[in-house]
Amino acid sequence: MAILVTGGAGYIGSHTCVELLEAGYEVIVVDNLSNSNPRALDRVYEITGKKPTFYEVDLLNHAGLESVFRENEIDAVIHFAGLKAVGDSVSVPLHYYQNNVTGTIILCHLMQKYDVKKIVFSSSATVYGAPETVPITEDSLLSPTNPYGRTKQMIEEILKDIYLSDKKWSIALLRYFNPIGAHQSGRIGEDPNGIPNNLMPYIAQVAVGKRSHLNVFGAEYATPDGTGVRDYIHVVDLAKGHLKALDKTLNEVGVDAYNLGTGRGYSVLEMVKEFEKVTGVPIPYKIVEARQGDIAICYADPTKAKAELDWSAEKGISEMCRDTWKWQSLNPDGYVIEEKNLFL
């Protein structure tokens, strides 16, 4: 069974490639490397002993992507490829709409042409915007507050329309909450460019000495300690959720959205304390102004994924902190170590 993984060299994609290869799937990765390093795929090979096929192709390159469909008998697609920085999406919205939405349309055209009608799509909890109530269920109002989130909502709508037009499609829309952590080997993990936007990579860079302290964005939210609360999920649990969703798309037609989260929220300061406890490394921090557009509390109701995909998160925040630290301490500068690269 051959699975096309778009964005497979990225953070969540590389972890999902490991799970797919270990489960016996053949993996074909398409990635333009705009936000990733092909060394991640070397490491995937090293962990699993199985080699994914790699195409350095942009989804916007219709002809290039078509050759991937022509050269491989693809059974299903897991579609991670996309740009994901909320702030950038506000600065360069057209770039985000073109890359994420147009890229998905080109992909789906080719899937239709080559009769590949099974897709697992990386959506995001960001489609909910500021939730009216928590925990958030899949039928909550969708109200994204930035262009990035709107690309995700638009793609969800496009995929639903495709299903309505042709009931042979099978589509899983996975709304991830806050993925953190890394593979337990410490060989693959999140390797952000420049200053990390997200909490856990920032904490990890403070711990490894690359940043002096964490700026905590606001301590006056209506939460127990005043700092923002999120549903952090271990990236390996998330990757396993993709295999469960893939199982469903391989066996049933339809279109469905699923929250992939733990169902528990933790505050910024709880995460700092847990990281310090697990690693023994102090994380100095300063409370600064709240970040524009941030919400106070966001966590999932993951009941539907449990009931329909037989998936639930297994790893807690101590494993998330432990594995983040293992990755960061073994790879303080990310994927930069000189090594022979099989995929370039």
Which residues are near ligand WQD by CB under 6 A? 84, 86, 124, 126, 178, 197-199, 202, 214-217, 228, 230, 268, 291, 294
Is position 96 annotated as part of the catalytic site?
A: no
For residue 156, the 8-state DSSP code is: H
On whether the CB atoms of residues 29 and 8 are closer than 8 A, the answer is: yes
Site string for ligand NAD, 104-143 (x = CB under 6 A): ------------------x-x-------------------
Identify the active-site residue in 148, 202, 258, 266: 148
At residue 289, φ and ψ (nearest 5 deg) are: -60, 150
Q: How far is Cα 245 from Cα 324, in angstroms, rounded to an integer? A: 25
Q: Which is nearer to ligand NAD, 33 or 278 (CB)?
A: 33
Q: Is position 60 an interface residue for ligand NAD (rule: CB under 6 A)?
A: yes
DSSP string over 163-216: HHH-TT-EEEEEEE-EEE---TTSSS----SSS--SHHHHHHHHHTTSSS-EEE
Q: Which is nearer to ligand WQD, 65 or 216 (CB)?
A: 216
Q: How far is Cα 115 from Cα 6, in angstroms, rounded to an integer? A: 17
Q: What residue 268 binds from ligand NAD, ligand WQD, none (CB within 5 to 8 A, per partner kind)? A: ligand WQD
Q: Is position 12 an interface residue for ligand NAD (rule: CB under 6 A)?
A: yes
Q: Judged by CB under 6 A, which of 52, 82, 135, 189 binds ligand NAD?
A: 82
In 3-state terms, what secondary structure has residue 77? strand
Binding residues among 18-47 for ligand NAD as defined by CB under 6 A: 30-36
Q: Judged by CB under 6 A, which of 3, 10, 21, 147 binds ligand NAD?
A: 10
Q: How far is Cα 178 from Cα 176, in angstroms, rounded to an integer? A: 6
Q: Which is nearer to ligand NAD, 192 or 332 (CB)?
A: 192
Residue type, 174: L
Q: Which is nearer to ligand NAD, 103 or 241 (CB)?
A: 103
Q: Judged by CB under 6 A, which of 4, 5, 7, 325 binds ligand NAD?
A: 7
Residues 6 or more apart whose Cβ sits within 8 Å of residue 65: 30, 57, 58, 59, 106, 107, 110
Give 201's Cβ-side CA count (13 Å radius): 17
List 176's β-bridge partners, or say none.
124, 260
Tokens of 153: 């909502």
Shortest distance in whole angstroms from residue 126 CB to ligand WQD: 3
Q: Which is nearer to ligand WQD, 84 or 322 (CB)?
A: 84
Q: Is position 196 an interface residue for ligand NAD (rule: CB under 6 A)?
A: no
Tell me which residue has tokens 């993925």: 179
What does the binding site for ligand NAD look like in residue numbers (CB under 6 A)? Answer: 7, 9-13, 30-36, 58-60, 80-84, 99, 103, 122, 124, 176, 179
